[in-house]
Amino acid sequence: MKKNIELGMLGAVMLLMSACVVVDGGGGGGGGGGWQQIATTEADFKNDRDTINISRGDGQYRHLRLVVSGGDLEMNEMIIHFSNGQSYRPNVQHRFSNEGPPLIIDLPGDIRNVTRIEYNYRSTNKREGKARVIVYGR
How many structural domains compose the chain? Answer: 1
Domain containing residue 48: CATH number: 2.60.120
Residue 25 belongs to a domain: no
* Alpha-carbon span 68 to 16, nearest angstrom: 28
Q: Residue 1: is its pLDDT beyond 80? A: no
How are beta strands 60-61 and 87-88 bridged, if at all?
A: unpaired
What is the percent of the chain where pLDDT is above 70? 74
In this prediction, residue 129 carries a pLDDT of: 87
Residue-number span of the structural domain to which 86 is assigned: 33-137
| Confidence class for position 98, pLDDT limits 50, 70, 90 | confident
* Amino acid at site 97: S
Q: Residue 20: is its pLDDT beyond 90? A: no
Q: Residue 31: is its pLDDT beyond 70? A: no
* Alpha-carbon span 22 to 18, nearest angstrom: 6
Residue 83 belongs to a domain: yes
The per-residue pLDDT of the chain, averaged, comes to 78
Residue 8 belongs to a domain: no
Q: Per-residue pLDDT tens for 124-138?
A: 988 888 999 999 999
Residue 6 belongs to a domain: no
Helices of type H across the chain = 2-24
Residue 70 belongs to a domain: yes
**98 vs 39, 40, 87, 128, CA distance in Å?**
18, 15, 28, 8
In this prediction, residue 68 carries a pLDDT of: 94
What's the pTM value of the predicted model, to 2 decimals?
0.72
